[in-house]
Structure formats: C-alpha cells, structure tokens
Amino acid sequence: MKKLIAIDGNNILYRAFFALPSMMTKSGTPTGAIYGFLSTLFKLVQDKPDYLLVAFDMHGPTFRHEQYDGYKAGRAETPGDLRSQIPLMKELLGKMGVRVIECPRFEADDILGTFSRIADEKGIFSLLVTGDRDALQLIGPNTHVLMPKKANETVEYDEALLFEQYGLSPERMPDLKGLMGDGSDNLPGIPGVGEKTARKLLEKYGSLENALSHAADEKGALQKKLIDGAESARMSYRLGLIDRHAPVSVSLEECAFVPSKMAEGAAMMQELELRSLLSRLPEGAKEKVSAPKEEKKIEHIRIGDEASLAAAAENMKASERLAFHMGDTLTLSSDGVKQYDIVLGATLLEPGLDETAVYEVLKPLFADAAIKKLVFDAKRHRHILAKFGISLEGVVFDGMLVDYLLHALHPALSLKTLAAERLGIQDGDAAALVRLYDSMMPELEEKGLLPLYRDMELPLERVLFDMEHIGFTLNSEVLREMSSVFKRRIDAIAEEIYALAGEPFNILSTKQLGVILYEKLGLPPWKKTKSGYSTDAESLEKIEDKHPIVKLIIEYRTLSKLCSTFLDGLLAVVRPESGKVHTSFNQNVTATGRISSTEPNLQNIPVRTELGREIRKAFVPSEGNVLVDADYSQIELRLLAHMSGDESMIRAFREGDDIHRRTASEVFGVPFDAVTSAQRSAAKAVNFGIVYGISDFGLARNLNITRKEAAHYIELYLMRYPGIHRYMKDSVEAGKRDGFVTTLMGRRRDLPELKSSNFNTRSFGERVAMNMPIQGTAADIIKLAMVRVHEALKQEGLKAKLILQIHDELIIDTPKEEAEKVAELLRSCMENVIELSVPLYADVKVGQSWFETK
C-alpha cells in the first residue's frame, strides 16, 4: 500500500522551538526550531513515503473565528525567534522538493484532514504527524496519527490505541472536546466539566447530544452544568470538528516525494550552519550534496601495490608540507592537486594493502618534523599511528582546532563537514586540507587568534594525547569493595523505604514515587509537570522535613547513581592489561575553551559529598610512584579582580585575605573579625554568583532567602565593588558593539544571542558577555600551564608524567624521588603562567591516592 506522510508544520516547529536549547547562526539567525523540525523530517522519510506534505496555518482569521470571536483569544503571541524561522522553514522545504500547503481561512489540521480523506479514497495509507489532539478524530483503518511526546519519543495512534487510552472511537473525540472544552483554542465546552467527567458521560451516553438530552437524569451540580452549558458545548463541538473538504489547490500527485530532491536544500542548510544534519539527508540525496567546485582538478592516484606505494613515498619526501587523512581510505597530498588514495586491508570490492606494511613505508614521512603536516584532529591520528609505533611530528595545521577557534559555537565535527561548509565540496580528503590551510590560517591571523593557536591549542593537542595514552591507574579492589558496601546500604535503605511506604515499589520510577509520596502519604507536591508529580532533587529537598521517607529516598538515589555510574561504571572501563582508565579529552567542545572528558567522564566524579570523595581513593599512582596534585585557588575571582580593576578586591588578594570574609566585612559593614559564618556564606555565594551573572532569584534559591533580601545583597555588593559593577556593564556593551567578547589571551566567543528578539535569550547573552571572558581566561590559563608543565618535565629529564586535568586542577604521576622537585616545578609553572595584578596561587599536595591529595 502506498503511503502519505502529512505534517502539521506550525505544531512541529512550535514543539521543536520549546523542546531544544536556543540555536543561532554566527550572524544571529535563530535556527533551533528548524533544526528540530528537520530532525523529525529526516527520521520520518526513512520510511520512504510515496507522498509528503507539510501544512501551515496562514496569517489571518479562519472560518472558526468568523463563527466565534473568542476562538484562540488569549493565546500567547508567537515568540519572535520562532516567528522568524517559519518563512525560512518554508523556503528550505521548497528547495528540498517538499510540498508546502496553505489554504486561506483554513488551518493546518483541516489540510491534514482533507489529504487523509483524499488518500483514503485512493486506497493510500496516511500518517498524520502533529501534537494537536484534534487530529485523533481523523484516525481510521488507513489513517494513523503520530504524536510527539517527551524527548525523542513518539506515539503512533490507531483505533485500538486510541480506545485503550481514551475509551473512545475517533468520531467521538469532537464530543469529548465539546464537553470539556479546549483551553489552548479558548473553547469553553461546559464550564466545570473536565476530561474525567466528560469521558464518563460519553461512556454512559455514547455522544455529546445524547449526554445533553439526558441532562435531567443527572443529579445536582452536573445536571445544572449540562443544562446551562448545552449551547456552549455544541459550539465547542462544531469548532472542534476538522473540515475534511478544505479547498486546497494542490493535488495528491503533486505531493509525490522524491528523496534525491532533498539535496537541493543542502546549500541553505549550510548557510544556516546546520552542519550535523547534512549527513542525515536520505539515501539518494547525499551523493548530490554540494557538487564539487574545485578551482583545480585533483589528480587521484590509486595505490594498489607495494611498488606504487614506494614510488609515492619517494615523491612525498621532498614535500615542504604533507596533508593526510585517515578515513575509509588513507589519503595523502603534498600539493593539493595530486592525491594518493591507499585502500588499507581487503574490501569486498577490491584488494587492499596490508596496513602494517603501508605504515612501515610511510613512517619516515610521518616522523620527519621538517615536513609540515596538515590534518584534521591530529590527536586521533596520533592514536592510530601509535599502534604501528609511529610518532607524528611537524603538525602545523589541525583543521579541527583552527575551526574551533574561529567558530567556537558551532565547530565542525568532521573534515567532510568542514570541507563542505568552507569549500563547497563533498570530499573530506587530504587535498581539501591543503585548501583549508590556505583559507583558514589567514583568517586566524586576521582575528588575532594565531598566538592562541600556535602557543596553546596546537601544542596542547600533543599533551592531551600523551595523557590519554598514559592513563590513570585504578585500584579495582577498592572500587569493588566500595560497590559491595554501597549495594548493601542501598538494599537496607530500600527496606526502610518500603516499610514507611507500606508496600514495595520502584523507588527510581518517577511515576510510582509520585503516587507514594503525594497520593498515598499525602505530602504537599512542590510542583507538577505535564506527565505528573515532579520528584526531581529540588522538589524532594523542599519536602525533606515533611516525612522521614524523603531523606531516605534522596540517599537511595545518591548511592544508586554513585554505584552504577562511578563504581560499576569505572570498573567496566579499566583495561585489564594495564589496570588503568584512559579517558578521552575533548579540546573543541565548550565555547569557553574548557576541556571536557568522556568515556569515562572523570570531570564528573562528585566532590561535594563525602561518599563522592571516597571514590577518589581508587585513583592511585603507578607502582612505586606518588601523585602530585595542584589546584588553582579561586582563579575566577582573582581574574574578576584583575579584569575589573576593582581596587578593594585587588588589595584583598594581594594581602592574602580570606576573600569571602573580606567581602562580607565590606558588604555588611562589620569588622573583619566580627563576620559571622552566615555572612561569609552569603558573601561567598555572591562572589561566585557574580562571575556567572547570578540573578536575585538564583541567589535567593542558593541561600534560602527572599528575592528581596537577595536583591539587597547584590545591590550592596555592587555598591561596594564599583569596579566589578563597571566591568559587568562594559562587558555587555562591548558584546553588543562588537558581536563577541574575548579572553585575556584573545579567545573569542560570538554573541548572536544579544540580537535575539527573545528576552530570555538576550538575558542569557548578557550573562555570557560578563562571564565568558573570566571563565574562558581561566580555561586558557590551565591549558597554557599544561603545555608549560609538559615541556618542563621533558626539559628537566624527569620520569614524571602529567596524567589528568580537571577544571582548575592538574595531577602528575611521579617517582617518589622526584616528588619534591616535581611539586615545585608544578607550582612554578601554574603560578607564573601569566602576569596579573593579583597573584595566582596553586595549592600543591602529594599523596598515595587522588583522595589523599585533596
């Protein structure tokens, strides 16, 4: 049976807009809703429909407004950032060959209803994609409704599922709306009759009209509601009916779906910086994306035998620069015009060369520092080459890092994406790297980013590779013992919870927990979501003192997460041959420049709870070694003092004061020695909050005080530290004027958010303008310190190795006899990496485990 997919464009765009974080191009064009819509569309077309259309509402009144002035009255105005994406979405769909349909005086669901009727008459199956419950009335043997739910989940309704969930057939769904009304459409229904009562009436009487005619059979208030609200119900019913005969001007045949046409939208997708979605274009379209626009014809030389390989290697020896990329095929190019393509290993289509033999021949080229290397993601290539005992030397261009510095908000995740965006070609190969080098390095210099790249990011890539390669030793026995203890405690807590609840249940189930807490035990719900009672951490903390079960549930959750994520999770990734974990450090993920880690995420190991800190006991030095750990003290506050030029804060740091006590003394007007612990805590919260652009609401929540008190604290703080107040205002003004802000070392963060018509997005942009220079400079400092420490250890001929960076902390695995020298070297490198108006201080400790160094 042929298939039609019909999408409610307004509805799916609206849902995508609110479901996803704000997204913008570098020029400030909002794209989040378009991204979400395309994600849904590409998933849908995997089923290869025969017909595809997207229906949109037209601006202006519909026939329903003509019948009822109050129709959709009071509905919030479409946010500006969403409204601007609608015409872009329509334009992009048009370029992709997807039929966009609008009909004056009719709505999108009328268009869906009309086409599903036409399809049904032709024996064609229809899948209607919308989050509007009105569409459920359209369900039939050949028509299903696909409704998005939370996250990436969808539910496909047929007649059976509709009856299971609502106890109604499709034709009775307008009756339900007539009785209960619809707040989003401002249809009154029968005042005081909700969904539960409406469904009972329909179960009892079968239809709206029958229920109204039996109003006298009901008693009390319901009888009066049915009698008084009869006409309101009938009007709501009429307006809730979808018109399946809308005067559409497009035939079903004109909605034929041709997958290959979707490639025509690739250029616009690239303009909108929707890079990651290009690879999701349907089969048949990918091949047509961005037809090559090479200025020069590239000569591809296929290497299929050892003699050809030897000749190619000999030719490349004389190269000043050598570009290479390891993908499905190893490609090398010395000039960007000639490219050697080497198939490694046998494939189904052709024989390939033995990998070991190939790399043995190419080893002198990779190891020759005099030949400048051009790559994308040098660290990944180092790991591949290391398997063959090859050291990669002479890297001068890492396209991934250069692109990250130029476009920190939307860095390219692959060479193919970068080549498509900057060169308009589909081939992510070695020859493309030569052209990218010629294009991107001048831009890097023009924007003042060359020193940051040359002195920090590029050498740091080698440091991170060494850290990943070395790894961190784990005492698995400590983890197993802790896991056993945790699990016994988890089981004991569960029994206590069951006893207090009066029954066993799934403690980690939000739904079951909500029933126990708020229905069975009658605790006051802090907040409710669309899916039911909220049982998140904040909600539980608000009712912790209401019943002893709540504290136990919080502990149960904490222990369960620690056990599954960190204890069992770490044991699963320990390499048996070395007893180490080898995390991956990500250099191009965060817009502030911070390094992140994955598989496992060692930066996520909890430090605020005693149990979380216990996990660090399992992280130990190599045999016979000790760990040397150094942590910057209050680096972001020190940077705030320096960058704001505030004299009071600079003086406090120079004199070595307890900065939070000094702040409390200044803000609350009390002698330094008379500051209370509560005052110091408040000052600490404001100090750190200011760095992140904290609001009175956020501070009030952190300190458990009123917003008025919190606002007063912030006002006092900014009065006492006028330099900081001035810095905050100047940063926002600079962001608006320049469109970006920079760190002390020149790292840029574009601020398209400041151009947004959405207040919340603009406010976020203002906070970023204030805090990115500080957070980004802190990230730059720790990165540069890592490079200096790595170089110093080598220059001193020490065996000690840098093995971990977490936030503002560095850890070195060192022989015991080197510990004292390494500790001093680490302190010196970290404290003298940059000259500021306030001293940098690194707290250095030595221990037999990560736990001992803290």
274 φ/ψ angles, rounded to the nearest 5 degrees = -95, 55
pLDDT at position 265, please?
Answer: 93
Q: Using CA atoms, how far apart are residues 318 and 38, in angstroms rounded to an integer? A: 48
Rg over alpha carbons for the chain, rounded to the nearest Å, is 32
Sole residue written with tokens 């307006």:
239
The C-alpha torsion from 520 through 526 and 529 to 532, rounded to 10°, is: 0
Question: Please, what is the end-to-end C-alpha distance for the chain in angstroms?
Answer: 67
CA separation for the pair 549, 113 (Å, rounded)? 51
Largest CA distance in the chain: 99
Spatial CA neighbour of 52 closest among 15, 87, 2, 109? 2
Compute CA 521 distance to the chain's CA centroid, rounded to the nearest angstrom: 37
**Grouped pLDDT means (10 residues each) for the chain, 854 residues:** 97 91 82 94 93 95 94 87 94 96 96 97 97 96 92 87 94 96 93 93 94 92 94 96 96 95 90 83 63 63 91 92 92 90 73 88 96 97 96 97 93 89 84 94 95 97 98 95 93 96 93 91 77 80 90 93 90 93 94 92 81 89 97 95 94 92 89 91 86 79 85 88 93 94 95 84 90 96 98 97 96 98 98 97 96 91
H/E element, 687: helix 677-691
The Cα–Cα gap between 318 and 298 comes to 20
Residue whose C-alpha is closest to residue 791's, from 320, 426, 460: 460
- Amino acid 294: pLDDT: 45
Query: Which pLDDT belongs to residue 293?
Result: 46
Q: Alpha-carbon torsion 256, 258, 259, 264, what sign?
A: negative
| Cα 197 from Cα 191, distance rounded (Å) | 12
Degrees to nearest 5, angle at CA 393 with 822 and 313: 160
SS3 annotation, 482-508: HHHHHHHHHHHHHHHHHHHHCCCCCCC
CB proximity list for 351: less than 8 A, separation 6 or greater: 304, 343
pLDDT of residue 478: 94
pLDDT at 275: 77
The pLDDT value given to residue 610: 81
Token digits of residue 143 = 């028509």
Q: Check the CA dihedral 27-29-32-37 and report its sign.
A: negative
pLDDT at position 425 is 81
Q: Which two tokens stand for residue 687?
A: 């100090």
Count of residues for the chain?
854
Q: Distance between CA atoms of 720 and 53, rounded to whole angstroms?
A: 61
DSSP code of residue 657: -
Q: What is the pLDDT of residue 291?
A: 44
* C-alpha distance from residue 455 to each of 366, 828, 848 (Å): 22, 19, 33
Place of tokens 């090859």: 390
Helix (H) or strand (E) holding 39: helix 32-44
Q: What is the CA 761 to chain-centroid distance, rounded?
A: 16
Specify the pLDDT at position 573.
93
Residue 271, judged by CB atoms within 10 A of its CB (0-12, 13-18, 19+), counts as middle
In the prediction, which pLDDT does 436 show? 95
HSE-CB at 74 with a 13 A cutoff on CA atoms is 9
